């Protein structure tokens, strides 16, 4: 009977195991193999082993180093602001302020939109003749249109703002859900001890939200390291690679210049960065 139950259990887990092998394990192994090979991506017979040449060429490429730096800037700024805005937004909604239900809906709507739509919309807004430049000109703040997406100093900032706008609502929702799990007795005891609202927030709310902070930071780290669609739609990595990130560099290597080896190296770098970020964050939580 025990053997029969075990076989039935294995039968039920077989589809998930096959799915994992076909769509996760095998592609990962194939990517690792391609990282030490030369291949254009068309004919399997053309795959040739070239050792560490792909790694050397990628890590000596100025464009890759620029993409790596931009990715780190994107990730750090995104994580900081999304968590700050998430906590502040959750506190505002939880404060029983008038119109908080409408505010929750408005904040969360961007999360439901495709990143492609977000990219197109913000591209139109930050166009030379977009609504932002028109508004600034009408207010007399600027005379000539600002080239938000064509200026090397402003393009990356613009993309970061668009990404933060899209995902703020999701973080607000997570922190708001976390606030609902904090017992009211904690705040009642703090009030009886004479603690102010901000003192209670600092000593009770923030520590109690620590698990949510962990989830939010990991989510935003991983999302930042693999960001592609918003960048591809708004700037395509330009101008002059000023907004190039790892994912756009990977796409360019694989599908524009047909170098699957270097593209596989970049894919491995993205995965390793995500793993390192996750491990470091979990270690900090354990301490």
Q: What distance, in Å, lies between the first and last C-alpha atoms of the chain?
A: 46
Residue 138 in domain = yes
Residue 15 forms part of a structural domain = no
CA separation for the pair 211, 216 (Å, rounded): 9
- For residue 230, what pLDDT is reported? 93
Residue 235 lies in a domain: yes
Residue 154 lies in a domain: yes
How many Cα atoms sit within 13 Å of 187 on the Cβ side?
15
- Residue 82: which CATH number? 1.10.3720.10
Dihedrals phi, psi of 183, to nearest 5 degrees: -60, 140
Position 204 scores a pLDDT of 86
Digit-by-digit pLDDT tens for the chain (287 residues) are: 556 777 777 888 888 888 888 888 888 899 999 999 999 888 888 889 998 999 999 999 999 999 999 999 999 999 999 999 999 988 888 877 777 778 878 888 888 888 899 999 999 999 888 888 899 998 888 888 888 999 888 999 999 999 999 999 999 989 998 888 888 888 888 888 788 878 888 888 888 888 888 888 888 998 999 899 999 999 999 888 999 999 999 999 999 989 999 999 999 999 999 888 888 877 766 65
Residue 2 within any structural domain of the chain: no
Evaluate whether residue 9 is within a structural domain: no
Count of the separate structural domains present in the chain: 1
Residues 6+ apart with CB under 8 A from 81: 164
Instruction: Give the torsion through C-alpha atoms of 70, 75, 77, 82, to 10 deg.
Output: 150
Residue 129 lies inside a defined structural domain of this protein = yes
For residue 285, the model assigns a pLDDT of: 64
Q: Is the dihedral of CA 18, 19, 21, 27 positive or negative?
A: positive
Q: Where in the sequence is the domain holding 148, given as residue range(s)? A: 35-286
13 within a domain of the structure (yes/no): no
Q: Is the CA virtual torsion 31, 36, 41, 47 positive or negative? A: negative
Sign, CA dihedral 180-181-186-188, equals positive
């Amino acid at each position: 009977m025990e053997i029969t139950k075990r076989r039935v259990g294995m039968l039920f887990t077989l589809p998930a195991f096959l799915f994992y092998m076909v769509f996760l394990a095998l592609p990962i192994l194939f990517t690792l193999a391609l990282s030490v090979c030369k291949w254009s991506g068309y004919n399997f017979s053309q795959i040739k082993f070239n050792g560490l040449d792909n790694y050397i060429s990628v890590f000596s490429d100025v464009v890759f180093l620029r993409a790596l730096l931009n990715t780190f800037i994107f990730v750090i700024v995104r994580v900081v602001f999304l968590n700050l805005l998430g906590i502040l937004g959750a506190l505002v909604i939880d404060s029983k302020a008038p119109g908080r239900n409408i505010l929750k809906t408005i904040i969360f709507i961007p999360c439901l939109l495709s990143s492609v739509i977000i990219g197109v919309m913000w591209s139109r807004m930050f166009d030379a003749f977009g609504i932002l430049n028109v508004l600034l000109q009408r207010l007399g703040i600027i005379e000539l249109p600002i080239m938000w997406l064509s200026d090397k100093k402003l393009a990356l900032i613009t993309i970061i703002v668009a990404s933060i706008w899209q995902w703020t609502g999701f973080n607000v929702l997570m922190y708001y859900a976390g606030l609902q799990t904090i017992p009211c007795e904690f705040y009642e005891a703090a009030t009886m001890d004479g603690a102010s609202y901000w003192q209670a927030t600092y000593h009770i709310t923030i520590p109690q939200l620590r698990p949510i902070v962990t989830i939010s930071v990991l989510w935003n780290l991983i999302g930042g390291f693999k960001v592609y669609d918003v960048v591809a739609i708004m700037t395509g990595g330009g101008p002059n690679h000023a907004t190039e990130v790892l994912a756009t560099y990977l796409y360019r290597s694989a599908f524009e210049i047909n170098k699957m080896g270097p593209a596989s190296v970049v894919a491995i770098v993205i995965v390793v960065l995500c793993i390192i970020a996750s491990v470091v964050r979990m270690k900090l939580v354990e301490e």
